[in-house]
Amino acid sequence: MTQTILGTHPPRQRIVRSLLRGPSPRRPRITPYGMVSAAVLAVLLPICVKVPWRADLGQHAATIERLRVDLLHPGSTLIDLPVSSPYYSPYTVAAALAARLADTTALGILPLCALVNTVLLLTGVCAFVRTLSTSPWAPALALPTLLLLWGPVLRMWAGNISLLNLALDICFPSIFVVGLTFHIWALTARAVGRSVSHASPLARRGYAVLGLLTAVALLSHAITGAGMVLGMVALVAGRLRALDRRTVLCLVLSCATALVAVLVWPYYNVLRLVGADQLDYFHNALYRGAPYWYGLALIGLPSLLLRLRRDRLDPLVLLFVLAAAGVAYGWCTGQYTWGRLISTALVPLQLALVIDLVEARSRVHRALLGAVTVVGLTAGAWAQAGVLLHIVPERHLPTAFTQRVERRDAWPGYEWAVRHMRPGDVVMAAAERPIRMLPAYGVYTVAPIWQDPLVPETERRNRWSATRAFFDPDTAPADRERALRRYHADWVLVDQAVEPTPQGPGYERVASRGAEILLRRAGA
């Protein structure tokens, strides 16, 4: 009789039993970042499913819709004009192709765009932070810090990744570029040997991919892409003398690949955007009240100064200096569009705070820093608590809460009006909301709500002058008719709360919603 020792079976019996039993299932490992990202995904997923109508959504949806209808010659995004636009980017082209494959409209493909951007952002933050710290808690703390540590009063702007801002522009090209930026920074850190993780260095093919991704980011959202380039410079600068010849040549290959891809992009000449100042007046608002909008991130400044003390060429320090210099340049020259680099300048402050916290050796230092971080995140969470209004029905929330949080309510759509129109029809409208929203459905407006660097400024002014004259009560009916014929407008959308309704036998009332009325020009 075979005797077992300590209750174990002989080797042959153990082998037979293991074969009969099969491989033991491994339990999935739950990481700190997995738990935090799952919580963030739970907040953003309902928003991705039903993207709220707000802000610049109409512009980006209109861009996708133009490309979906005509991929080669889409024309202007907002007005009936045969010119291209810098909004025709790799991101919007990919979204238009996806809409074609799915046989849906631009508005129908936006939830998929939002989901892609969310995944890209969540994975990108983890990838980059892991190049800065080996602590598993660094990415887990970095994500809420990047989303919440902005200001006690929130400023909504495309490209900002505050949680409440993501609730409104999660499907925008700027958020796509932000998520891509973190991945590009992670690849750059590996390429120059700045990654503290054990990731393998880039192969030669990886450098070409890095160049292509850089071009995609620059073409998809130029100013956010500029912040990405500053981060790449910061990562390379401190290691430049230590790089071998092969790595330098590969980096040159990446730069050349990016440059060629940008210059051969067929939809517009990127060099025409250099020096464009049409949006500078609009971005001036970024500099007003900056401490209120971004002040909470300043609690990371002492941690950033500690990194400066240890290494004058620390990549986070260099990124902060370069981004701050770009912001200052915009202020001094009046080119206020550079103020959008403020969001790039916040990233090193936020990440320096997190890394200092997880790698603090002194218990007192960690406790003090942890308390400050908790206070900052709590203040940031309260400032952005209005995001709950996008995922929880208002009736289920306390009245005191809904009255005190900052609201960003979604706008109602214009399906009631566009169901009577055909793609490519032109609408005469003066109120802000219909001009912002109607192009997303495939129709044009006479006057564009947004400025486009490739649309002549005189054309934009003439269209607005014609629109204001049309709704002027003193304008003669014949002049109104000439304005409609000049811009091929067969429809008039009137908001009676803003402008008077044109009178006369030349208009037929087709539909209405509240104070808004849709009129058809006689004979159209």
Q: Which of these, 163, 237, 164, lies nearest to 194 by C-alpha position?
A: 237
Reported as a single tens digit per residue, the pLDDT across 277-329 is 666 667 777 888 778 888 899 999 999 999 999 999 999 999 999 999 999 99
Residue 61 identity: A
What's the CA gap between 443 and 465, in Å, rounded? Answer: 20
Q: What is the pLDDT of residue 8?
A: 46
DSSP 180-202: HHHHHHHHHHHHTT---S-PPPP
Give residue 206's Cα distance to chain centre.
25
User: Could you tell me where the DSSP H helices lie in 133-172?
Assistant: 137-148, 163-169
Given a contact cutoff of 8 angstroms between Cβ atoms, the answer to whether 426 and 466 are in contact is no
Distance CA 393, CA 397 (A): 7
Q: In the sheet where 426-429 sits, what is the strand order?
A: 444-445, 426-429, 489-495, 516-521, 507-513
In the three-class reduction of DSSP (H, G, I as helix; E, B as strand; rest coil), residue 179 is classed as helix
Selection from 57, 17, 351 nearest residue 182 by Cα: 351
Residues comprising the chain, all counted = 524
Write out residues in the chain with pLDDT < 70, as ranges.
Answer: 1-28, 198, 273-281, 400-401, 403-410, 503-505, 523-524
Closest CA to 324 of 348, 300, 356: 348
* CA-angle at 240, arms to 205 and 202, nearest 5°: 20
The Cβ-side half-sphere exposure at 245, using a 13 Å CA radius, reads 0
Cβ burial of 157 (10 Å; 0-12, 13-18, 19+) is buried
Q: What's the confidence (pLDDT) of residue 7?
A: 41
Q: What are phi and psi of 41, to 5 degrees?
A: -65, -35
Contact (CB, 8 A) for 196 and 240: no
Looking at residue 21, its pLDDT comes to 53
Q: For residue 19, how far is the Cα from the chain centroid?
A: 51
